[in-house]
Amino acid sequence: MSNVFMGMPTLPVFGMGNLHIEEPFPAAAHRELGNTQMRANLRHATHTIRDKRLKVVAELPDWEELRDAGSATKNHVMANLPALLEEFEKNFTARGGTIHWARDAHEANKIVADLIREQGTTEVVKVKSMATQEIGLNEYLEERGISAFETDLAELIVQLGHDKPSHILVPAIHKNRTEVRDIFLKEMPNVDPDLTDEPRKLAMAARAHLRRKFLSAKVAVSGANFALADSGTLAVVESEGNGRMCLTLPETLITVMGIEKLLPGKEDLEVFMQLLPRSSTGERMNPYTSLWTGVTEGDGPQNVHLILLDNGRTAALADKYGRTALNCIRCSACMNVCPVYERTGGHAYGSTYPGPIGAILSPLLTGIKSEENSSLPYASSLCGACYDACPVKINIPEILVHLRGEDVDSKRGAKKLPSQMDLMMKGASWAFSSGKHLALLEKGLPLGKLAAGRDKKIKALPGIAAGWTQSRDMLAPPTQSFRDWWKKDHTPVAPTHKQEN
């Protein structure tokens, strides 16, 4: 077992790779709102998945108890992560696997590239993996002359279309089948020029394209949904069978997994294999579940490697309010119910992780001071639908509010000068602390009419309040307050006292 310090670093090591957005969320969202085709595609897809999920969840009388169990298990893992990682490493290596530790995206990418070169090949097949997207593995390999072929159908669509994923579960959710057909006709070698947009025909074209890759690949790269500490077992769940092909046919298997994916033991799968398929695809069980424990002589890959990735996860773990974001099992249920995501799409979030979970996970992994990532916690209406849908009860709205506070504090500077928001909140605190204070302010209501035009609407406010009037008008205040109206139109009634016997 390698000697690895798993305690909290003195200075947090923040994440690198495809976690940093290139422009503030409001600007990106404004641009994406103009893509009416994308919005129509998203609405149809998210509502379909959402409705399926509601039906299968309603079948389980103990659904809330399962959510509680999932949440408790993941909280236990985070509280005991160093010990569980060492236990997993011991069991994984005892069964013939090789563990590599990567502090960040650069280290992880270099390890993968070196392992591929050792096999003397320049092509690899890949199972859908959020971790490899996070570290920008495909781009890193391409720069070094290594071609990585995505085998998940949606990932293949995104790759052939030179696009970026927009959804955790369904990366090409922003494309409709006609757009997919056009991508195949333009980018897929040897495709039938008469290909239609019938889903079955599209699937058959992808299958024929990928079969050659499956049969010739020497190396496969995967992620992992779960890792069992008590046995050193890895698990991948998927719907198409491509994962099974990648995990069994090549001689070498390289898995990249975030350190938070651990579960204590196999009995915990009983809970998560009910939570995950229902929350992600609205299915009672997923079609393919692949589990492997190290190397089995004569069966499957004989050269098995696992890269345990930090890339900001210990920094997130150090945040006592935000650490439960690491409990995420990547089901995407929060995205399918989010009114903001439904309208802006995943590309507006910039990071590998879009939607409500991305709005908290990306800033936690990179640090709230990281360039434009500080705008992500504001990408929410705080309606709470994401919390209600989350199978492991991550309180996303609570963490969003916490990160907004962190963002405000980080921008005050060393002198902690009060911001406009600080002054507004201080004033509100004074006003609402006393009826007399509020009554005094209400006497100035008529002055508000001066800011309104002839249509009795206030269309522009100064300072931080300008953000409110950018997208909505305010009605001019009334000529008198409710208190004044009540005092004028109602005569006080003297209290009556019952005569005591």
pLDDT at residue 389 above 70? yes
Query: In this predicted model, which residue has the larger pLDDT, 22 or 290?
Result: 290
Task: Give the tens place of pLDDT for each residue, 116-167.
Answer: 999 999 999 999 999 999 999 999 999 999 999 999 999 999 999 999 999 9
What is the per-residue pLDDT for 447? 73
Query: In this predicted model, which residue has the larger pLDDT, 130 or 370?
Result: 130
Here the tokens at position 122 are 């320049």
Here the tokens at position 63 are 């659904």
Environment class of 489 (CB within 10 Å of its CB; exposed 0-12, middle 13-18, buried 19+): exposed
What is the per-residue pLDDT for 490? 82
Q: What is the mean pLDDT of the segment spanning 470-491? A: 81
DSSP sequence for 462-494: -GGGHHHHTS--EEPPPSS-HHHHHHHH-PPPP
What is the per-residue pLDDT for 414? 54
Describe the chain by its helix, strand, coil percentages, rounded to 5.
50, 10, 40
Residue 221 parent element (H or E): strand 219-222
Number of H helices, E strands in the chain: 22, 12
Q: What is the mean pLDDT of the segment spanning 440-444? A: 81
pLDDT at residue 22 above 90? no
Q: Looking at the DSSP assignment, which residues form a beta bridge with residue 253?
A: 220, 304
Full-prediction pTM beyond 0.75? Answer: yes
Task: Give the tens place of pLDDT for each residue, 308-330.
Answer: 999 999 999 999 999 999 999 99
Q: What is the mean pLDDT of the segment spanning 426-443? A: 86
pLDDT at residue 1 above 50? no
What is the per-residue pLDDT for 498? 59
Task: Give the tens place of pLDDT for each residue, 414-431.
Answer: 556 777 878 888 888 998
Percent of the chain exceeding pLDDT 70 equals 95
Place of tokens 């929350």: 279
Q: What is the mean pLDDT of the segment spanning 400-426? A: 81
Percent of the chain exceeding pLDDT 90 equals 72
Q: Which of 89-93, 286-290, 405-409, 473-477 has the highest mean pLDDT?
A: 89-93
Q: What is the mean pLDDT of the segment spanning 182-205? A: 94
Q: Residue 499 — pLDDT band, cuts 50, 70, 90?
A: low
Q: Residue 487 — pLDDT band, cuts 50, 70, 90?
A: confident
Q: What is the mean pLDDT of the segment spanning 256-268? A: 97
Query: In this predicted model, which residue has the larger pLDDT, 131 or 170?
Result: 131
Q: What is the mean pLDDT of the segment spanning 346-369? A: 94
